[in-house]
Structures are given as structure tokens and as C-alpha cells.
Amino acid sequence: MPKIYLVNVGANRSHENKARSPIFSDGTWIYVPFPHKSTHHSHPFPEATLPYIRVANGVGCHADPDWDGLTYVDSCSEPRAKSLSKVHGGDILLFWSLLWKTDRSRSVFDSHERGWYIIGVLRVESVLKQGDRVSTLLPDIQRRAIRNPHVIEGKIKDKDGERVFIGSSDLRHSRRFANAVDWQVYIDGGLMHRVVRAADGSQIRWHESPQWNSVTRSCRAILDLANQRDHELATFLAERIEQSNSGFDLIGKG
């Protein structure tokens, strides 16, 4: 049975003076990747993000996930992403980000209101490892995979632990959410408080161990759909997501 993995992406607290992802009063938002020094994996910031960045010339971004191609790459040799080496086809990557509340007439850098939101999902269809060639994939999946900045000349970067996760093209199961879903961090009984547990199964806490930001810092499986209690929590989470993103089905069959 599939598992749901939690993956934090985008500009975060360490980037707040350089890049911020805004969320507007209607729930719509803009994804701002984190700044990244110029290398062959760095790309210019997308035009839509330019009002929300303050970076020096030559500083690009790490453009991952690729929401148009529905792919994501991480290095499973790094401690933060080690658990993603266990991801298989059918597993679900649940992406979340720090978003700053603002309106379109103000600078996002004047905002003092921030929150953490679920911003999209990939239901994994294929996983490629370092050195794999995309030519082994079906044509539609090839076209999407080759867009990812970690695919160089049709081949996955030959680095230990490199993984390319290719999501289903069915937008009922893989999509960047039009409306971000509030994790309700710091709210007892809120969405994160109900759904996410520490690795030992204990309740997360806001200001003491096991503190929520430590529990969620690394990518990891938070729900196993083979477990009845986890399945019930996943169903609750799916309903919350669908309320603001019509037609999205987190755990239903294709």
C-alpha cells in the first residue's frame, strides 16, 4: 500500500530577506523557489516571481519541483532526504511551503504574517536513479522528465543518491494546488496537529519536544495507507484538500 511523504520546498525562513512566496486573501499564491548560486542547476527566477525576490545579479533559483512537468528531484544521499530513497511507484509526495500573507498592492517584504501551507502533490508514477536514461520511459513521461534541471543530455545526474520522481499526469492525483491548504501550525487540533506525528508516533508539540519544526524538517513518510488509523487520517486530509481544490483526490484510485 502507498505511503504519503512530507516534502518541504521553496523559499523558507533562511531566505526571508531575499525571497518570499506570497499568499493572497483569496487563497491563491505564487511559488517562489529558493535562491541558488549560479551553477548548471541554477535557473533564472520565473517572471511571475520577480516582485517577490531581492537577489543580486547572477543569483538564480533551484527550480524544483517542476509543476508543469510534474517532476521532483532530491539527493537521497543527504540526511534531509534519505527516506525518499524508499519511495516507489504509487507513493505520494505531499509538498508544503512557507507562504507570506499579503495583497497585490503591497510588498511581500512588508508582511509580518506567515504560515505553512500544503501547496501540491505528486503521486509517483516512475522513479529514476542516478545515471538512468529517460529514453527507457514512455514518450509522454520522457517529455516531462527531460524538462527537469537534473536531467542532463537525457541522463539523470550521475551523483550518488540522486532520484527523479515523476508524478502521474492525471491532475486528479498530481497537481500544484490553485489554493494552498493551511497546515494550521500552532493551532491545537488543527490540520498538522491531527495528521502529523513524530517518528515514534507521539503527538507533535509547538514549543517543546517533539517540536513540530524538528519533526517535519526532514522528508519522511507521515502516513502509511496500509495502517487503518493512518488511512483514516489520510482520508481526513484528502477531504480538507478537496474542499479548496475541487476534483483533487489524494488517495483514491485512478
Residues 153-195: tens digit of each pLDDT: 888 877 778 899 999 999 999 999 999 999 999 999 999 999 9
In angstroms, rounded to a whole number, what is the distance separating the alpha carbons of residues 182 and 98?
10
Tell me the three state secondary structure of residue 134: helix
What is the pTM (predicted TM-score) of this model? 0.93
pLDDT of residue 254: 64
In angstroms, rounded to a whole number, what is the distance separating the alpha carbons of residues 1 and 155?
30
In angstroms, rounded to a whole number, what is the distance separating the alpha carbons of residues 122 and 222?
15
> CA nearest 32: which of 45, 17, 13, 16?
45
- What is the 8-class DSSP label of residue 251? S
Distance (Å) of CA 94 to CA 8, 41, 116, 151, 223: 8, 23, 13, 22, 11
Confidence tier at 7 by pLDDT (50, 70, 90): very high
Q: Quick one: three-class SS letters along 59-115? A: EEECCCCECCCCEEEEECCCHHHHHHHHCCCCCEEEEEEEEEECCCCCCHHHCCCEE
Per-residue pLDDT tens over the stretch 98-128: 999 999 989 999 999 999 999 999 999 999 9
In angstroms, rounded to a whole number, what is the distance separating the alpha carbons of residues 212 and 208?
8
CA atoms 105, 108, 114, 120: torsion sign: positive
> CA nearest 11: which of 97, 108, 117, 107?
97
pLDDT of residue 42: 66
